[in-house]
Amino acid sequence: MADAPEEDSRERLKAALWYAIGQIVDEESLRLNRNATPQFIGMLTMMVMGQIENVAIDLESFAQHAGRTTINTDDVMLLTRRNSDLQGMIKDFIDKQKADKGGGKGKGKAATSKR
């Protein structure tokens, strides 16, 4: 069991992700007027985990290809190259993040407007 610590940390990360996803699912299911089964959340967690794994490896490769070891926002934009709508959303988000940082508080997601 040489890889026991690594497995352990991965399990704990999964648990943390599970919790975070559960929160979002609760929020969304309230909005959609549905309930989500625990298995649904579990499988979502597996999907997101897998997607993060792919994303991590892709981003690392993109940065490496550009001769860097630090991933920056350009690499993230490259990640979204196949979906122009997604590209627009992420671009907006990055621009907003930059603007927020320039203008004071650097929390990109803490949008203010309440509809």
Partner 1 sequence: MPPKGSGSRGGRNPTNKTSAAPSTSRAAPASRGRPSRGRGSAKSAASPSREAGVNVAASEEDEVDDDGDDEEEEEEKKKTIPPDLVTKLLHEFFQNEDGTTRITKDANGAIAKYMDVFLREAIARAAVESPNKRFLEVEDLELIAPQLLLDL
Cβ 73 to partner 1 shortest distance, Å: 5
Cβ 63 to partner 1 shortest distance, Å: 7
Contact 67, 61 (CB under 8 A): no
Closer CB to partner 1, 1 or 38, in the complex: 38
Closest CA to 13 of 60, 37, 48, 38: 48
Closer CB to partner 1, 4 or 86, in the complex: 86
Tell me which residues in 17-76 interact with partner 1 (CB under 8 A): 17, 20-21, 23-25, 27-32, 34-37, 39-40, 43-44, 46-57, 59-60, 63-64, 69-73, 75-76
Distance separating alpha carbons of residues 19 and 44, to the nearest angstrom: 11
Q: Is 78 left (phi over 0), alpha (psi -120 to 50) or beta?
A: alpha
